[in-house]
Amino acid sequence: MGYYTPGEPLVDGKAPDGPVAERWQNRKFEARLVNPANRRKLSIIIVGTGLAGASAAATLGEAGYNVKTFCYQDSPRRAHSIAAQGGINAAKNYKEDGDSVHRLFYDTVKGGDYRSRESNVYRLAEVSTNIIDQCVAQGVPFAREYGGLLDNRSFGGVQVSRTFYARGQTGQQLLIGAYQALERQISTGTVSMFTRHEMLELIVADGKARGIIARDMVTGEIQTHLADVVVIASGGYGNVFYLSTNAMGSNVTAAWRAHRKGAYMANPCYTQIHPTCIPVSGSHQSKLTLMSESLRNDGRIWVPKNQADCDKDPRDIPEEDRDYYLERIYPSFGNLVPRDIASRAAKNVCDEGRGVGPEVDGTRRGVYLDFADAIDRLGRDAVANKYGNLFDMYARITGEDPYAVPMRIYPAVHYVMGGLWVDYDLQSTIPGLFVTGEANFSDHGANRLGASALMQGLADGYFVLPHTIRDYLADGPFEPIGEDHPAVVEARESVRARTEHFLSVNGTRSVDSYHRELGNIMWEYCGMERNETGLKKAIDLIRGLRDDYYRNVKVLGASESLNQSLEKAHRVADFFELGELMCVDALNRRESCGGHFRSESQTEDGEALRHDEEFAYVAAWEWAGLDEKPILHKEDLVYTAIEMKQRSYK
């Protein structure tokens, strides 16, 4: 209780009622229209051009609004959506294997451990089929069967084949589709694209989001961009952990700046940790690479039984000295247990001192993923056919031959389910500020199903936001505000002051060194397993480190030029504040669910134990000021179409 102030309950004022299957149809019908001639008088700012941002920008541009869109990369084609490997779900039931909108909805709510919103998830499942149609029409080269129809596979532990894919590069192909649609609008002049621009502040004037302050990352110019509505589509904040599978530049700044201006941050502690990543090889490591989870279908996971064997060549360790710990603990699911269970089990055996691979900071953090049995059973060629590109990627990064020596894997931070709170219309607690894709919180609950992130990004951008934003814009155009409006001046001044501060400290430590240290704290105490003592300790550590950061960071160069250290300085400052809130949120949630395991809340068998009576709510945090306690607003999760169940994978 000492870490937050209880606030009023939060209610989603747009939450529809009636049968779950009719809610979106009704909302679309009720959303007010904007006459085409009036659309060109309305302006929209979109921050981020990944799947959610690019698809929204293209669609709103087509509709005739004035759209300005921003990304920090040199081209919208580089957004991190491009790195998604697996696929995209859609309830097409092309395999006639019992899939339906309702089943996709059910699987997603269950996969999120009953911590997502029923209405939002149903809508996601409902529009999923349109996404595939749209992407095919754009020329996305999905895998096909010999008859020319689309192929599907099953993914992420579900029992139907509903995942559409383009080899292991589905995210790339979907993003290129959305990017091309966006570039088409840019050429027609409906969308203006600002590449190498970073949003550093949100402008909230007279209670409404009315624009952003952006820095031109080449010239350093601090620019003011005003509009009738702002959309944040800036992705997730997994880089708070420093090491993650996220792109180097992925950051929380756009969302965090909005949070500080009044947008609530929901369930920030929900982090998805992926069990099959290439382990850290040394202290120089800058990021982690995901290996598709499909590898667990044929690979067997083990560590030595005896600590003394950990530095031996694995091929010299006899069968009786190996601990196939997942097969031992979870005989019915074995190596295919859900992501959070596989991840936690790997961390536990490494913490016991039975990890393998190079020692980094005193511990070996890796477990074997062994294909020797599969190669004996299926032959090397068959294994190469199935997993060849992944084996090549592993060999390139580690310099080891996975056909000869077992691969080494370790869990890594991959995706965040938390994000800015939005209502059913995807509008935040600030009127006129909409949030889409990974940057919002609503659809994945406490854990995300495989192949669902791409679906959500595109659903929000192509099919949801264009309807709900229209309803908001029907009240516009709003009274123009000038660059001399006090809210604009305040926002611009705060960016200028922070920029000048970082450049003038001239301390002794680089931004990266602070980021790495923050990441270690987060991983150790707010990673896949948390407890009260650790989280309290983390909060103290983060506060101390943040104070030191403001007094002792060293950022060279000037503001009026391309300055990558300065860019990072802004982002890491926001990661400090977010990291602290993540710990406070994790401390408050005294239950285990999804990717969040509180060691105080487990069954006798050591499995995650939810407490629905106490915690079936969204934790939405309101900013109260630096060094002030954040305010917790609870939004109850109500399920009318689905029954909450405890899970069991024994």
Partner 1 sequence: MNVTLKIWRQPDAASEGAIHTYEVADVSPDMSFLEMLDVLNEQLNDRGEEPVAFESDCREGICGNCGLMINGEAHGPEVTTTCQLHMRSFTDGDTITVEPWRADAFPVLKDLVVDRGALDRMIQAGGYISVNTGSAPEAHSVPVPKDDADRAFNVATCIGCGACVAACPNGSASLFLGAKVTHLGLLPQGQPERDERVVNMVAQHDHEGFGGCTNIGACTAACPKEIPLDVISQLNKDLRTAIKHGH
Region 116-135 residues binding partner 1, contact defined as CB under 8 A:
130, 132-134
339 is catalytic: yes
11 or 248: CB nearest partner 1: 248
Q: Does 396 bind partner 1 (CB under 8 A)?
A: yes
Are the C-beta atoms of residues 601 and 591 closer than 8 Å to each other? yes
Q: Does 389 bind partner 1 (CB under 8 A)?
A: no
Among 503, 545, 562, 642, the residue binding partner 1 under the rule CB under 8 A is: 562
Q: How far is the CB of 467 from partner 1 (least distance, A)?
A: 10
421 or 462: CB nearest partner 1: 462
Q: Comparing C-alpha atoms, which of 313, 336, 309, 311 is closest to residue 323?
A: 309
Q: How far is the CB of 405 from partner 1 (least distance, A)?
A: 15
Q: What is the 3-state secondary structure (H, E, C) of 254-312?
A: HHHHHHHCCCCEECCCCEEEEEEECCCCCCCCCCCCECCHHHHHCCEEEEECCHHHCCC
Which entry of 339, 364, 530, 571 is annotated as an active-site residue?
339
Q: How far is the CB of 118 from partner 1 (least distance, A)?
A: 25
Q: Does 397 bind partner 1 (CB under 8 A)?
A: yes
Which residue(s) pair with 530 in the sheet? 598
For 599, which DSSP code? T
| CA count, 13 A, side-chain hemisphere, 213 | 25
Tell me the residue ranges of DSSP E strands in 453-589: 529-530
Q: Does 1 bind partner 1 (CB under 8 A)?
A: no
Instruction: Choose one: 53-61, 263-271, 307-315, 603-611; the region binding partner 1 (CB under 8 A).
Output: 53-61
User: Residue 626: helix, strand or coil by DSSP?
Assistant: coil
35 or 332: CB nearest partner 1: 35
Question: What are 397's two structure tokens?
Answer: 């990064």
CA angle 157, 170, 230 (to 5 degrees): 105
Question: What are 535's two structure tokens?
Answer: 């989280």
177 or 299: CB nearest partner 1: 177
Residues 26 and 474: their CA atoms lie apart, in Å, by 18
Residues 178 and 60: their CA atoms lie apart, in Å, by 13
Residues in contact with partner 1, counted by CB under 8 A, come to a total of 80
164 or 617: CB nearest partner 1: 164
Residues 370 and 367: their CA atoms lie apart, in Å, by 9
Element containing residue 182 per DSSP (H, E): helix 170-188
Q: Which of residues 207-226 bind partner 1 (CB under 8 A)?
A: 218
Residues 441 and 498: their CA atoms lie apart, in Å, by 28
Q: What is the DSSP string of 206-244?
A: TTEEEEEEEEETTT--EEEEE-SEEEE-----GGGGSSS
Q: Does 187 bind partner 1 (CB under 8 A)?
A: yes
Instruction: Choose one: 76-84, 298-306, 348-356, 488-496; the region binding partner 1 (CB under 8 A).
Output: 76-84
Element containing residue 70 per DSSP (H, E): strand 66-70
282 or 480: CB nearest partner 1: 282
Q: Does 343 bind partner 1 (CB under 8 A)?
A: no
Among 23, 39, 92, 110, the residue binding partner 1 under the rule CB under 8 A is: 92
How many other CB atoms sit within 10 Å of the CB of residue 358? Answer: 13
209 or 511: CB nearest partner 1: 511
Instruction: Choose one: 54-62, 114-122, 260-268, 431-439; the region binding partner 1 (CB under 8 A).
Output: 54-62
Instruction: Choose one: 28-36, 182-190, 427-435, 609-617; the region binding partner 1 (CB under 8 A).
Output: 182-190
Q: How far is the CB of 289 from partner 1 (least distance, A)?
A: 5
Q: Does 144 bind partner 1 (CB under 8 A)?
A: yes
14 or 28: CB nearest partner 1: 28
Residues 267 and 135: their CA atoms lie apart, in Å, by 31
424 backbone dihedrals φ, ψ, rounded to 5°: -60, -30
Are the C-beta atoms of residues 631 and 4 closer than 8 Å to each other? yes
Q: Would you call the peptide bond into 431 cis, given omega within 30 degrees of 0 as the criterion?
A: no
Among 260, 554, 629, 647, the residue binding partner 1 under the rule CB under 8 A is: 554
Q: Which of residues 469-528 bind partner 1 (CB under 8 A)?
A: 510, 512-513
Are the C-beta atoms of residues 630 and 640 closer than 8 Å to each other? no
Q: How far is the CB of 175 from partner 1 (least distance, A)?
A: 10
Instruction: Choose one: 336-344, 461-469, 495-503, 636-644; the region binding partner 1 (CB under 8 A).
Output: 461-469
Q: Does 33 bind partner 1 (CB under 8 A)?
A: no
In this structure, which amino acid lies at residue 16?
P
Instruction: Choose one: 69-77, 372-380, 476-484, 608-616; the region binding partner 1 (CB under 8 A).
Output: 69-77
11 or 404: CB nearest partner 1: 404
Q: How far is the CB of 284 from partner 1 (least distance, A)?
A: 5
Q: Which of residues 286-315 bind partner 1 (CB under 8 A)?
A: 286-287, 289-290
Q: Does 569 bind partner 1 (CB under 8 A)?
A: no
Q: Is the dihedral of CA 397, 398, 404, 407 positive or negative?
A: negative
Q: Comparing C-alpha atoms, which of 74, 102, 93 is closest to residue 217?
A: 74
In the shown chain, the binding pattern of residues 239 to 278 toward partner 1, with x for contact by CB under 8 A and - for none, equals ------x-xxx-----------------------------
- For residues 49-65, one letter each, b for 16 or more C-beta atoms within 10 angstroms of the residue's C-beta and e for the rest, the string is bbbbbbbbbbbbbbbbb
Among 28, 38, 62, 501, the residue binding partner 1 under the rule CB under 8 A is: 62
Q: Does 73 bind partner 1 (CB under 8 A)?
A: yes
Among 2, 13, 36, 147, the residue binding partner 1 under the rule CB under 8 A is: 147
Q: How far is the CB of 399 from partner 1 (least distance, A)?
A: 5
560 backbone dihedrals φ, ψ, rounded to 5°: -85, 40
Among 38, 192, 389, 565, the residue binding partner 1 under the rule CB under 8 A is: 565
Q: Does 94 bind partner 1 (CB under 8 A)?
A: yes
564 or 646: CB nearest partner 1: 564
Element containing residue 568 per DSSP (H, E): helix 564-588
Tell me whether residue 593 is exposed, middle or buried, using C-beta atoms within 10 angstroms of its C-beta: 0 to 12, 13 to 18, 19 or more. Answer: buried
Q: Does 557 bind partner 1 (CB under 8 A)?
A: yes
Q: Give me the active site residues, please.
A: 339
